[in-house]
Chains A and B, each alone.
Chain A
């Protein structure tokens, strides 16, 4: 099976979706063109190059460059979705959601509900997230928790290229507004990705490792750090269930609860801030529904509760690192 990067996988999904369905359109800042592509203008296919090659293939009517105004991008996409199109809007950085949050949580998320099910909002909002890219506090934070808490939105956080393609194709088919959160650090990671179209269902967690001592739920980029630690600790006989929820809304509670019922211990790792975050949310679900199974307190391994620092050494300290994950695992296992 061919190996593709995360970036290529999403690009391929967009290509295939646009080819199969003429109602799919792409819009955003500098999404058209791409240096080196036929018919290119001097742009780079989105800030991360994910939309490269779409313009020459599908034309300006379906690959639309917008002004630098996020509220207009999301407003236009939400409106287009009401007319029967399936827009995929790019928002460059998730940090910019504040500008268009009204369009997201107050409009797109509510059409289906407020019009008594007569309207749908089949749109995807792609955005990038994550620290470690030396991009400063305004381009590095992960705000997935902010959209996860909004009823009516679906939130997808693919961790690898395979899932990214399958989840993107699923997101485009979905009739609700889907926030598609791409971690910047992952764009150049790669794995085997089939050429054909396939979908990964929402709300079904993926088990990266299976074990009996501890359940680790990790979201997005930190998953790769978790895997490195877990594989290292396996030589010490520590066996872990490592769960990637893949979508934070809907969340596969069943998979997490069943795993904790088996292992009796839980660590949640994510790169969001600790208060009111996904780690806190998942911890509370487990504390509420699987309390009797717990043998040790739940541990959250998250970013620090501060803006993302610009100084590289501070940024690294701010992010959950392998050493943090390892010491959490040892603490929880030593507890009982």
Chain B
């Protein structure tokens, strides 16, 4: 007697509702065992691999790559023993998704530590507003970019334009900076396109277009819009100018409706959905404070110089936040409906901006880690984020988020809370400013930080206490050692 098993879309977190099939790792006819990697499924943030929960032969692939299926829907069929095609057909047609599975996240893929709830997992994978292209290099301007992975031609163009490869978001294969990335950073593409458009504008032909091949509707429309058919790129059969070509030409020359549209990616959809929800459902308030960074910067230059470390200002901020959360545990919380959830360790999410959106990988137990450990971990996570390799475990969880726009020269901003967390720190740029001390005006490097908090869980005084602690730690970095 043969048995048929269903391969279904697993639920990798409470808020996961559907996944896009990206690739089958086995073919029909292949043997599979429990735990074998069988199919890659993309959720709103990452691509994960589903493992087989049964053994046998894959006899049917129901869902093809590119298709999006709800949790618990049938993807394929595995058979133990001999089965006929008719039996498989009958199994598929009679398959109904397990109602329990729809609501239950997959066991065994939970948070490594007990306090974080499954809800953290995917919510964590959701969005976070403040893009930080490369948080590890918040204030770093290391002229030596030879360690950055880049293609030869990208490096050459970057050198020609005086671009530091540290400042270029890499989208190439294996996280490499590509020629395209550098050209984009240098504005070459945009300028070239603008030049092309301007040239086309000038060359608008006034020649007779009555013999140019065009559909009757296109010709009619061109006449109405005063467009010469010779100026239009034909896309119709036999190089005929079509109505669509005229409409496109009209948009290009008129300057109105000068836009293109693209469908939302899964990640963009998730960002849109969760930030709207966060902004609408969480009573946000902000508390800001100025931090003097001179002491920290001198400590950092000593560490990076004398001690040969590579520690960024952002690493200090992550470490300081973790320590401050220790000192003011009332901020290391989440609002969970009818209760407040207190976290026992400080897991700091760090916002990383990618071409495609935003991810927030987590530095776990940042309160127990040294600055070099945090620096190394952040660097690793940013690299993995840029090459799209982050695993679900690396982005789920997290009890607090740091978002840094300092490298963009932003003085101050407010961030939207990264649900279901209760607080997020927005970090501005550090600038030399006049400060008054003991009645004297002095120059100091000042950075403004702003804490957005969920008032349901954190009161204003608590937030202020936290900022005071954070300010103390950042202005006296040695106290982080305590």
Chain A residues with Cβ below 8 Å from B215 are 205, 252, 254-255, 258
Complex contact B216–A255 (CB within 8 A): yes
Is A66 part of the contact surface with B, judged by Cβ < 8 Å? no
Cross-chain contact of A203 among B217, B218, B237, B243 (Cβ < 8 A): B237
Question: Nearest A residue to B240 by beta-carbon distance?
Answer: A254
Q: B residues within 8 Å of A by Cβ?
A: 215-218, 220, 236-238, 240, 242-243
* Given contacts A207-B216, A210-B220, A258 and B238 within 8 Å (CB-CB): no
Is A23 part of the contact surface with B, judged by Cβ < 8 Å? no
Chain B residues with Cβ below 8 Å from A205 are 215-216
Chain B residues with Cβ below 8 Å from A250 are 237
Sample of 27 A–B contacts (CB below 8 Å): A203-B237, A204-B240, A205-B215, A205-B216, A206-B216, A207-B216, A210-B216, A241-B217, A243-B216, A250-B237, A252-B215, A254-B215, A254-B236, A254-B240, A254-B242, A255-B215, A255-B216, A255-B217, A258-B215, A258-B217, A258-B218, A258-B242, A258-B243, A259-B217, A261-B217, A261-B243, A262-B243
Q: State the Cβ distance, A118 to closest chain B Cβ, in Å.
A: 24
Chain B residues with Cβ below 8 Å from A255 are 215-217
Chain A residues with Cβ below 8 Å from B238 are 201, 203
Q: State the Cβ distance, B224 to closest chain A Cβ, in Å.
A: 11
Q: A residues within 8 Å of B by Cβ?
A: 201, 203-207, 210, 241, 243, 250, 252, 254-255, 258-259, 261-262
Prevailing SS type, chain A contact patch: mixed
Q: State the Cβ distance, B350 to closest chain A Cβ, in Å.
A: 45
Chain B residues with Cβ below 8 Å from A261 are 217, 243
Complex alpha-carbon distance, A229 and B220, angstroms: 23
Q: State the Cβ distance, A9 to closest chain B Cβ, in Å.
A: 23
Q: State the Cβ distance, B233 to closest chain A Cβ, in Å.
A: 15
Complex alpha-carbon distance, A241 and B242, angstroms: 16
Complex alpha-carbon distance, A70 and B240, angstroms: 39
Complex contact A262–B217 (CB within 8 A): yes
Of listed A201, A207, A258, A262, residue having the most chain B CB within 10 A: A258
Across the A-B interface, give the 6 residue pairs with the lowest CB-CB distance, nearest first.
A258-B217, A207-B216, A258-B243, A255-B215, A254-B236, A254-B215
Complex alpha-carbon distance, A203 and B213, angstroms: 12
Q: State the Cβ distance, B51 to closest chain A Cβ, in Å.
A: 42
Complex contact B220–A254 (CB within 8 A): no
Chain A residues with Cβ below 8 Å from B218 are 258
Chain A residues with Cβ below 8 Å from B243 are 258, 261-262
Chain B residues with Cβ below 8 Å from A210 are 216, 220
Of listed B217, B236, B238, residue having the most chain A CB within 10 A: B217
Complex alpha-carbon distance, A259 and B236, angstroms: 14
Chain A residues with Cβ below 8 Å from B220 are 210
Chain B residues with Cβ below 8 Å from A252 are 215
Complex alpha-carbon distance, A258 and B238, angstroms: 16
Complex alpha-carbon distance, A261 and B238, angstroms: 21
Chain A residues with Cβ below 8 Å from B216 are 205-207, 210, 243, 255, 258-259
Complex alpha-carbon distance, A205 and B240, angstroms: 12
Complex alpha-carbon distance, A205 and B214, angstroms: 11
Complex alpha-carbon distance, A206 and B217, angstroms: 11
Chain A residues with Cβ below 8 Å from B236 are 254
Chain B residues with Cβ below 8 Å from A207 are 216
Q: State the Cβ distance, B193 to closest chain A Cβ, in Å.
A: 28
Chain B residues with Cβ below 8 Å from A243 are 216
Q: State the Cβ distance, A306 to closest chain B Cβ, in Å.
A: 35
- A sample of 19 more A-B contacts (CB under 8 A), given A201-B238, A254-B236, is A203-B238, A205-B215, A205-B216, A206-B216, A207-B216, A210-B216, A241-B217, A243-B216, A252-B215, A254-B215, A254-B242, A255-B217, A258-B215, A258-B218, A258-B242, A259-B216, A259-B217, A261-B217, A261-B243
Complex alpha-carbon distance, A259 and B220, angstroms: 10
Q: State the Cβ distance, A119 to closest chain B Cβ, in Å.
A: 24
Question: Nearest B residue to A215 by beta-carbon distance?
Answer: B217
Q: State the Cβ distance, A182 to closest chain B Cβ, in Å.
A: 24
Chain B residues with Cβ below 8 Å from A203 are 237-238
Complex alpha-carbon distance, A69 and B240, angstroms: 43
Complex alpha-carbon distance, A262 and B220, angstroms: 11
Complex alpha-carbon distance, A258 and B236, angstroms: 11
Complex alpha-carbon distance, A205 and B243, angstroms: 14
Of listed A203, A250, A255, residue having the most chain B CB within 10 A: A255
Q: State the Cβ distance, A88 to closest chain B Cβ, in Å.
A: 25
Q: State the Cβ distance, A57 to closest chain B Cβ, in Å.
A: 33
Complex alpha-carbon distance, A27 and B278, angstroms: 82
Question: Nearest B residue to A210 by beta-carbon distance?
Answer: B220
Complex alpha-carbon distance, A132 and B242, angstroms: 38
Q: State the Cβ distance, B222 to closest chain A Cβ, in Å.
A: 12
Q: State the Cβ distance, B353 to closest chain A Cβ, in Å.
A: 37
Complex alpha-carbon distance, A210 and B237, angstroms: 22
Q: State the Cβ distance, A201 to closest chain B Cβ, in Å.
A: 8
Chain A residues with Cβ below 8 Å from B237 are 203, 250, 254
Complex alpha-carbon distance, A261 and B220, angstroms: 14
